[in-house]
C-alpha cells in the first residue's frame, strides 16, 4: 500500500471501533435489566437500565456507611450516566478494538511476530481484567473507607459531590487495571530485544522504588494500605514476567547458537 492507502485503512479501522463503542454505549444506556415493567407508568416512565444498575451497585459498594452524595450541578446526574455508560461501552467493545488494531498491523508482521502480538494482547487483557477485579473487590473499598476516616477526624459531614465520587471510582478502577499490565510490557520488550533481563534484575530496587512512588501519586488514598494491596500483586507478577523473559532469552540464544553452527 501507499502511505495514503495505510491512512485510509487506519481510518476505516478506527471508524469501525468508534461505531462499536457508540452502539455498545447506547445499548447499556437503554436496555433494561429486567422485562418486568409493572412499575413503569406515565407518571414514572423510568426503568432500571444496565447503566443505572451499575451506578447503583458502585454507590452501594464503595460509598462509606452514612455518607451522602449530592448532585452539586444540575447536569451532574446526566454527566455521570453518560460517563459510566461510555466506560461500559468501551469495555464491551474491547474485543472489537483489539481485533481491528491487530488486523491493521497484521500484514506487516512475520509469523513469529504475529504469535508474539497475540500473546501480548491476551496477557494484557488478562492482567487488565485482574487489576479491575482486584480494585473492585479490595483496593477501592479500602481506599474509600480510609478517605472517609479523615472526614470523621476533622468532624466534617460525610457529604460528597455526586460527579466527583464516580469520577474517582472510574479512574481508580482504570488505574488498577493499567498498573497491573506492566509485566506484559516487560516481557514484550525483552522478546523484542529492546530490554535485557540483566537490566531488570540489576535495577530491581530502582524499578520497585519507582513503582511505589507512581502508585502513591496515582492512588487517591493517603494511607499505605491500598498501596500495599496494589504493590504486592504487582511485585509477584513482575517477578513471574522476569522468569518468563529469561526463558525467552535462553531460547533465543540457543536458536542463534544452532544457526551459527
Encode the chain (261 residues) as per-residue pLDDT tens digits: 677 888 898 899 999 999 999 999 999 999 888 777 666 666 566 788 999 999 999 888 888 888 888 887 888 889 999 999 998 998 889 888 888 888 888 877 777 777 888 888 888 888 888 988 988 888 888 878 877 787 778 787 878 888 888 888 888 888 888 888 888 888 888 887 778 888 888 888 888 888 888 777 766 555 566 677 778 888 888 898 889 888 888 887 777 767 666
What per-residue confidence (pLDDT) applies to 224?
A: 64
What per-residue confidence (pLDDT) applies to 28?
A: 94
Residue 154, strand partner residues: none
What per-residue confidence (pLDDT) applies to 225?
A: 64
Name the H helices within the chain.
Answer: 3-30, 50-62, 76-92, 94-105, 111-134, 140-153, 162-179, 182-191, 197-202, 204-218, 225-260
Write the CA distances from 250 to 190, 196, 209, 244, integer angstroms: 11, 11, 28, 10
Nearest-angstrom CA–CA distance, 117 and 121: 6
Residue 33: φ, ψ to 5°: -85, -10
Specify whether the CB–CB gap between 25 and 86 falls below 8 A. yes
What per-residue confidence (pLDDT) applies to 44?
A: 60
Residue 214, strand partner residues: none
Specify whether the CB–CB gap between 162 and 69 falls below 8 A. yes
Nearest-angstrom CA–CA distance, 44 and 51: 18
Locate 230 and state its grid cell: 496494589
What's the first-to-final CA gap in the chain, in angstroms?
Answer: 38
Q: What is the enclosing helix (H) or strand (E) of 70?
A: strand 68-70
Residue 72: φ, ψ to 5°: -70, -20
Locate 166 and state its grid cell: 464516580
Nearest-angstrom CA–CA distance, 241 and 43: 58
pTM of this prediction exceeds 0.95: no
Amino acid at each position: 500500500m501507499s502511505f495514503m492507502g495505510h491512512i485510509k485503512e487506519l481510518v476505516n479501522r478506527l471508524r469501525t471501533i468508534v461505531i462499536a463503542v457508540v452502539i455498545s454505549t447506547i445499548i447499556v444506556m437503554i436496555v433494561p435489566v429486567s422485562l418486568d415493567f409493572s412499575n413503569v407508568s406515565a407518571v414514572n416512565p423510568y426503568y432500571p437500565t444496565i447503566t443505572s444498575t451499575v451506578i447503583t451497585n458502585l454507590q452501594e459498594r464503595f460509598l462509606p456507611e452514612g455518607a451522602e452524595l449530592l448532585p452539586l450541578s444540575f447536569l451532574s446526574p446526566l454527566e455521570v450516566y453518560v460517563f459510566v455508560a461510555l466506560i461500559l461501552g468501551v469495555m464491551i467493545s474491547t474485543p472489537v478494538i483489539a481485533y481491528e488494531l491487530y488486523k491493521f498491523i497484521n500484514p506487516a508482521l512475520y509469523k513469529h511476530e504475529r504469535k508474539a502480538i497475540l500473546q501480548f494482547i491476551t496477557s494484557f487483557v488478562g492482567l487488565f481484567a485482574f487489576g479491575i477485579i482486584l480494585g473492585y473487590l479490595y483496593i477501592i473499598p479500602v481506599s474509600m473507607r480510609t478517605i472517609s476516616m479523615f472526614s470523621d477526624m476533622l468532624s466534617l459531614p460525610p457529604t460528597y459531590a455526586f460527579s466527583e465520587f464516580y469520577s474517582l471510582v472510574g479512574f481508580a478502577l482504570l488505574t488498577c487495571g493499567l498498573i497491573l499490565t506492566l509485566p506484559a510490557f516487560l516481557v514484550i520488550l525483552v522478546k523484542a530485544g529492546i530490554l535485557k533481563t540483566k537490566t531488570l534484575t540489576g535495577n530491581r530496587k530502582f524499578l520497585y522504588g519507582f513503582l511505589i512512588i507512581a502508585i502513591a501519586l496515582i492512588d487517591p488514598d493517603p494511607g499505605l494500605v491500598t498501596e500495599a494491596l496494589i504493590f504486592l500483586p504487582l511485585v509477584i507478577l513482575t517477578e513471574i514476567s522476569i522468569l518468563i523473559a529469561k526463558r525467552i532469552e535462553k531460547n533465543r540464544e540457543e536458536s542463534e547458537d544452532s544457526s551459527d553452527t
